[in-house]
Amino acid sequence: MKIVVLMKRVPDLVEDLEVDGSGKALATEHLKLTVNEFDDHALEEGLLLKETSGGELTVVALDAADVDKMLFTALAKGADRVLKITGAANVEGNTGLAAVFEEVLSAQEHDLILTGVQAADDRDGQLGPIVAALLDVPCVEVVTQVEVGEPGEGMVTVHKEYSGGVVAELEISLPAVLGIQAARQSPRYAPVSKVRQIQQSATIETLAGAGESSGAAAGGGSGFSVVEMTAPETGAGAQMLAGVDELMAVLEAKGVV
């Protein structure tokens, strides 16, 4: 089975994020990027699948700060190939990004495409569905487990989470796109000595992405534009009460008791 994991780097929320002068985007001066944690889970689920059912796992990522380290880390964890797409840094939103991925995927053998169900900069989780739509293959989101073999050739069984703790078991025919919510186990640790060793010997395959034209190919850009970006307003804050008497006074003042 050919497994492809789509990964991206997102702003690291450990840093204090600042809005730039335009008021429409994050200031990039001190912006630190980190791996999208959901993509990390997608990679883990892919590695577990590969370990149990065999196959080849390829990671595809857009060029970004420290992307090489992320890709070497993926190799150290057990990925077979890593592809870096250059020249597509300015793609617009998920539509543009999905178009770039679609272009790459069309030229790669793929049975199962895994990606994070969402990202710190994409809470809508639209990347997986748009890629699936462009490839005209089925898609399941919020997946927590993938199994091959059960339903037979060309099928996988997936667990999809719904709110309220309901889990559906779905059979899906391949090729397909899955948006991974969480892998069966937390993403494995890649020992630094292994990553450094691989850095010396392995190569990252580079592909030139079509860049902005891809967005156009997918139907003329993402279809939305950012009007304003601001930090959330901080509320008035909590009032600390010293004891039951104060609590009663507040409740009485509010007319609750």
CB of 87 to another protein, least distance (A): 27
The three-state secondary structure class of 217 is helix
Q: Quick one: which segment of 29-37, 108-116, 210-218, 225-233 binds another protein (CB under 8 A)?
A: 29-37
Tell me the H-state helices in 1-66: 37-53
Please, what is the Cα angle at 90 between 77 and 113, to 5 degrees? 40
Residues near 154 by beta carbon (within 8 Å), at least 6 away in sequence: 173, 174
**Cβ atoms of 149 and 214 closer than 8 Å:** no
**Cβ atoms of 91 and 99 closer than 8 Å:** yes
Question: What is the Cα–Cα distance from 195 to 82, expressed in whole angstroms?
Answer: 14
Contact between 14 and another protein per CB under 8 A: yes
CB of 49 to another protein, least distance (A): 17
**Cβ atoms of 42 and 183 closer than 8 Å:** yes
Contact between 29 and another protein per CB under 8 A: no
The three-state secondary structure class of 124 is coil
Kindly state the number of chain residues that form the binding site for another protein, as judged by CB under 8 A: 16
Contacts with another protein, 158-197, as mask; x by CB under 8 A: ----------------------------x-xx-xxxxxx-
Please give the residues from 190 up to 229 whose contact with another protein meets the rule CB under 8 A: 191-196
CB of 85 to another protein, least distance (A): 23
Question: What is the Cα–Cα distance from 111 to 175, expressed in whole angstroms?
Answer: 4
Contact between 16 and another protein per CB under 8 A: yes
Q: Quick one: which segment of 13-21, 139-147, 168-176, 244-252 binds another protein (CB under 8 A)?
A: 13-21
Closest to another protein by CB, 15 vs 205, is 15
Binding residues vs another protein (CB under 8 A): 12, 14-16, 30, 32, 34, 186, 188-189, 191-196
